[in-house]
Structure 1
Amino acid sequence: MDKVLARGFNWAEEISDGVKEAGNHCASATKISWKWLSLSGNSNQGASVLLLALLVLGAAVAFIIRRRKRKDYAIRPSTPTAPRLEKGQPREFGKWTPSDFCTPIPEPYPDWSVENTKPLPYRPFRYGPKYNVTMGLRTIKHEDWIELDNHFPRFHADKARRIEERGSKLCATAPEAYPAAVELLEELTEYLPARYPSLYRRTAVGLDNLWSGESFNIVTRPLPEDPMQMCARLVQDDLAIMIERPDGQYYLLAGCIVLPGFWRLGDKFGMPLSEIHTSGDVPQYKEKLERGMMNLFRRLKPEEMVGRHNYFFQVDDDLGWSWSVGPEDSDVNGHVGWNTAEKGRAIDHHYFRSERQTLRRLPKSGGVVFTIRTYFHKVREVAEEDYVPGRLASAVRSWGDDVSRYKGKERYADVLLEFLDEKHEEQVARGLDLSRENGVRAYPY
């Protein structure tokens, strides 16, 4: 009975609000109606009153419907879905109390094989006309932490070669981050054999790679190599760990960045989070990203994991280092950057480079692990996918001047956009229904 009465009171309140709103919207109509009524005499007075009442009631009902629709729209989640990170308990900067959280053991990846499992088709770009600079965070399940696919052999070979040639320039662990690096190695040792049992097998001292024949011993001390380097050999991702110091800043103090394309660990190692981004001229970092990113790192809990995607273009085919932006060992000032790249290279030299990045906090050490998984495809290959060339061309055209400089647009835009426009026109000509895109290729796929 109480629920019925409550609903009745709510409905009455809505009607009252609706009548008030209707009165505001119908003020001019009311004045006109009464003026007409006074001129028309008593013969039409009853009909006029009835007409006026219906007018007010109709407006009230319309107001109620509009208000309910607004409420419905307000509760619809935005896209992409941003995680709700709760404000953590106050703690002293640079101090972490080990958490009793244990990372869930994942189910095996369905039907995974090193020969047949294709890379997931991440296409993280939107139609213009406006390009919004955001973190674009999504909540990720712990079981989806690391993604492996049939590109693993190439990544494994490229990593092994580059570590052999340039190991000390690609991998480093500061003493204060060493416990976190070992913890990351332990986490991967538990996760990978459970998630990818046809590739990895758990052993008494670590794990075996069944495809390559490698064995990893994580028990022997000292470890046979830098723990971050061992981690990087296990996955297709590049890896970094940020450590909070007493000043409240998070510093890059452990990393193995083997396949970065455009940046070098040595240029960023030891830097705080904000300087890493400002030194790289990340567009609108101070205005739109810094505060949210600092809050994210501060509040992130071991129980949570978040991810994001980005994309770039490259005008050479080197997964490890894009030599078109300059030699990898060049001085960064004036010798590494898009200004050195050849302009207008043929479309066959254009590659689409997308990153899937995840962030999670290690429960024992409190270090924040940053994984960077690169997806690398020829533009010709990506443009064959339905809806992609039109949306990608629109996205590139939506970049502002700062984003365009950051992504090197001036060096490849003419060739790239002409090609994408042609592929889009071909798709439309063969009957592709553009109105169905949202149902077929939801962002960021």
Structure 2
Amino acid sequence: MQAFDLVSQNISQIIPIPIYVGVFVVLLFQVFPRIFVAGRRSIVQSTAGRADEESDIPSSIYDRDPSPSSLVTPDPTFSWRDNPQQVPREIKPGKYFLTMNVRKLDFNDYIIFDKQFLSEYRERQAIISNVGPAKIFVAEANDAALDLCEETVMVTVDFLVTRYPSMFRRTERGVLCVDAGEEYDLVTRPWVRHPLEIICLLSGDDYILMRCCDDGVLRVAAVGLVYSLDIDWTPFIGKDLASIHRDARIPFYESAIQKSVDRYFLKLHPDKPVSRANWLTQVGSELRNEKFPDEYLRHLSTIPGNTITPETIVDDLYFRVERQAMRKLPSMHGVVFKFHLYATNIWDLELEEGVPRRFAEHIRGLPESVLRQKHCLECVDGILKVMDLMAERQEKKTTNSQD
């Protein structure tokens, strides 16, 4: 004991008190935080996996969705009858670069309605009835895919009854679509209707559901695409994003953004949806129509006496726009990819200030491969002629109003 006291006295004489304090401060503010962050990073990467950053990744795939009241602002006076269509026009003039072009989406706008709600609801209902749900709603034959569909229904209904209480109401057995006068059973098992059928009707959107498999890759588990009847989606089930885009022959996808897309989808949050827009061209206004101009022109060329040309077909040309939204599901390691379709006649773009000029400059910057992918390569000269004409009219009208 005396020896210990003697050593302590000697140490205290050699190392002054301020040095002790200095060492403690260094440990407190420099070393300990680094150890903590490094440990947290290893935990996040082991649970979320395949991540470059930890800041946007939930610590567990079983994170629960915050209550709707904390994310959604109820709009009890909302009327879809008074809400005009808001077609996204995310058009970038100039040289073409393939990007994700993803934007943050206000949670209140995750599902929106306009004056076409009831007519599109009835149309989608008729399509499902005539074609049969089995040809529209396809899913993996396992419990994981069904759980994914069920959770998507529950979070979608939760959003609808909270955001639009005048349009959707809870009932003892499910949810009531007030304007359609139709109740959907969410209790009975097995389901009376396919879960995807319910949300495709209630939200007016089409859906692709993906789940994160054991290898850490997102793969398509279920689809509900009411307006894409001409496409057999069965081969897409079980495929990852890279395979889908490769099969669809999306130009520059693999070399430009494939890795970024894979990382981005894995980092999505339940409470932070994102959106983007995409456009194609089609002949005719029907949303379920997939009569693409290039293919249609080639078909017409085989018909004797045909008078429709790449120039004349432009009058019946429509821009088919997808308003896409993505979010992670709260309790399953799955992702919802949904989209709403709009069709606008090329001549109606003159009603949108500045759009014809921007669209013309955008199209002029597209490479041939992208024009082919958007099905308008063969009639692009006619499109540009119409766009330039409308742009000149708009600019002349603006000049006259200023004078």
Same-fold call, TM > 0.5? Answer: yes
Count of residues in correspondence between the two structures? 339
The answer to whether residue 107 in structure 2 is matched with residue 142 in structure 1 is: yes
The residue aligned with 1:112 is 78
* CA offset digits 1:184-223 (Å, max 9, x no partner): 1111111112222222112222211111111011011111
Q: Distance in 1 between matches of 2:270 and 2:92?
A: 31
One-letter amino acid of the structure 2 residue matched with residue 98 of structure 1: Y
The answer to whether residue 345 in structure 2 is matched with residue 378 in structure 1 is: yes
Q: Distance in 2 between matches of 1:358 and 1:263?
A: 21
Q: Distance in 2 between matches of 1:235 and 1:382?
A: 26
The answer to whether residue 93 in structure 2 is matched with residue 127 in structure 1 is: yes
Deviation, structure 1 residue 410? 2.0
Shift in CA distance, 190/391, structure 1 to aligned 2, threshold 3 Å: same
Q: Distance in 1 between matches of 2:292 and 2:76?
A: 38
Deviation, structure 1 residue 376? 1.7
User: TM-score normalized by structure 1?
Assistant: 0.70
Q: Distance in 2 between matches of 1:387 and 1:223?
A: 48
Deviation, structure 1 residue 237? 0.9
Unaligned runs of 5+ in 1: 1-86, 327-335, 434-445
2:356 to 364, 389, 396: 389
Q: Distance in 1 between matches of 2:395 and 2:271?
A: 46
The residue aligned with 1:70 is none
The residue aligned with 1:221 is 189
Q: Distance in 1 between matches of 2:287 and 2:296?
A: 16
Q: Distance in 2 between matches of 1:396 and 1:206?
A: 47
Shift in CA distance, 234/115, structure 1 to aligned 2, threshold 3 Å: same
User: TM-score normalized by structure 2?
Assistant: 0.77
The residue aligned with 1:90 is 46
* CA offset digits 1:136-188 (Å, max 9, x no partner): 01111222211111111232122112212332221122222111110111111
The answer to whether residue 217 in structure 2 is matched with residue 252 in structure 1 is: no
SS in 1 for 2:84: coil
Shift in CA distance, 119/248, structure 1 to aligned 2, threshold 3 Å: same
Deviation, structure 1 residue 267? 4.1
1:347 to 289, 306, 314: 314
SS in 2 for 1:232: helix
The residue aligned with 1:419 is 386
Q: Distance in 2 between matches of 1:189 and 1:244?
A: 23
**Does the 8 Å contact 1:185/1:230 carry over to 2?**
yes
SS in 2 for 1:172: strand
Shift in CA distance, 233/103, structure 1 to aligned 2, threshold 3 Å: same
Unaligned runs of 5+ in 2: 1-42, 51-58, 302-308
Q: Distance in 1 between matches of 2:321 and 2:99?
A: 16
The residue aligned with 1:101 is 65
Deviation, structure 1 residue 351? 0.8
Q: Distance in 1 between matches of 2:297 and 2:159?
A: 38
* CA offset digits 1:273-308 (Å, max 9, x no partner): 111111001111101121011101222232322111
Percent identity among equivalent residues?
Answer: 26
The answer to whether residue 288 in structure 2 is matched with residue 320 in structure 1 is: yes
Shift in CA distance, 314/358, structure 1 to aligned 2, threshold 3 Å: same
SS in 1 for 2:342: strand
Deviation, structure 1 residue 427? 1.3
Q: Distance in 1 between matches of 2:92 and 2:323?
A: 16
The residue aligned with 1:169 is 135
Deviation, structure 1 residue 375? 1.8
Q: Distance in 1 between matches of 2:60 and 2:299?
A: 45
SS in 1 for 2:390: helix
Q: Distance in 2 between matches of 1:110 and 1:395?
A: 40
Shift in CA distance, 324/399, structure 1 to aligned 2, threshold 3 Å: closer
**Does the 8 Å contact 1:384/1:423 carry over to 2?**
no
Deviation, structure 1 residue 384? 2.1
Deviation, structure 1 residue 133? 0.8
The residue aligned with 1:71 is none
Shift in CA distance, 270/156, structure 1 to aligned 2, threshold 3 Å: same
Q: Distance in 1 between matches of 2:269 and 2:300?
A: 42
**Does the 8 Å contact 2:236/2:244 carry over to 1?**
yes
**Does the 8 Å contact 1:88/1:299 carry over to 2?**
no
RMSD: 2.7
Shift in CA distance, 220/132, structure 1 to aligned 2, threshold 3 Å: same
One-letter amino acid of the structure 1 residue matched with residue 178 of structure 2: L
Deviation, structure 1 residue 337? 8.4
Deviation, structure 1 residue 127? 1.7
* CA offset digits 1:29-70 (Å, max 9, x no partner): xxxxxxxxxxxxxxxxxxxxxxxxxxxxxxxxxxxxxxxxxx
SS in 2 for 1:91: helix
From the CA coordinates, give the structure whose radius of gyration is larger.
1
Q: Distance in 2 between matches of 1:162 and 1:219?
A: 25
